[in-house]
Amino acid sequence: MTRAALAGIGTGLAAAPLGCFVVWRRMAYFGDATAHAAILGVALSLALSLPVVAGALVVALVMATVVTLISGRGYAMDTLLGVMAHSALAFGLVGVTFIDGVRIDLMAYLFGDILAVSRADLAVIWGGAVLVLGLIGWRWSALLTATLNADLARAAGIDPRREQLVLTLALAVVVAMAIKVVGVLLITALLIIPAATVRPFATTPERMGVLAAIVGMASAWIGLRASFALDTPTGPTIVCVAAVLFSLSTVPSTLRPSS
């Protein structure tokens, strides 16, 4: 339980602030596509006897980079993401069935298995969290400027495509490290829901990032405790807790009389 709690908190700490940029840029489908592609990375890792995190990270990076490079060349972004995400997911699910001599629990990769986190997994998760937070902190001003207005970013000497690649790298790292916690089908929820929850209460981008991290960590901790008490799947329970917190955050705006 201690390792599981540390894994959940580390994932929430890294995913939620990054999720602010996903919400601001309306990149929810982009995060979903990157996460789905990670299943193909899992299959390749098992076939080549490599660490699962390494394969998932490489494929997620390739997926995100390819979509970024070929976007705007005759196909809408959502079309490209839909084709590549579902294709990668399907090839990954089919590919694992051809691997002999390896016992595979697909449910653990799809929905997470936080209670099976080892010390090595914990090191990967917190190492990834430190990397992502360091990357976001280092590029915060440039990322924010490029998110607000691409033309303004260029005038300030900032390359918007470079900042897009920085987000791509951070997103791929979060997807790879979150596989054990909530699985590839639920990681997008952990990216988006905490950021969406605190958006009505954040007066500055920095405050939104901090509040989102707090909500992400709280969702992981409460979800883990609720899963233990109710004997429910841990990954989905964490997302359910985040969804409940989001619902509660909408109450003040719902009760406020419209002008």
Segment 100-140, tens digit of pLDDT: 665 666 677 777 778 788 888 888 888 888 988 888 888 88
Residues of the chain with pLDDT > 90: what percent? 13
Q: Residue 96: is its pLDDT beyond 80?
A: no
What is the spatial distance between Cα 221 and Cα 248, in angstroms, rounded to a whole number?
A: 18
Neighbours of 18 (CB within 10 A): 26
Query: Which domains can be identified in the chain, with CATH numbers?
Result: 1-184 (1.10.3470.10)
pLDDT at 197: 92
Q: Residue 257: is its pLDDT beyond 80?
A: no
Q: Which residues contact 236 (CB under 8 A, 6 or more apart)?
A: 111, 182, 186
What is the spatial distance between Cα 109 and Cα 113, in angstroms, rounded to a whole number?
A: 7
Backbone angles phi, psi at 7, to 5 degrees: -65, -45
Q: Taking residues 205-213, report their average pLDDT.
A: 91
Residue with more model confidence, 4 or 252: 4
Contact 28, 193 (CB under 8 A): no
Per the prediction, the chain carries an average pLDDT of: 82
pLDDT at 77: 66
What is the C-alpha end-to-end distance of the chain, expressed in Å? 49
Q: Residue 76: is its pLDDT beyond 60?
A: yes
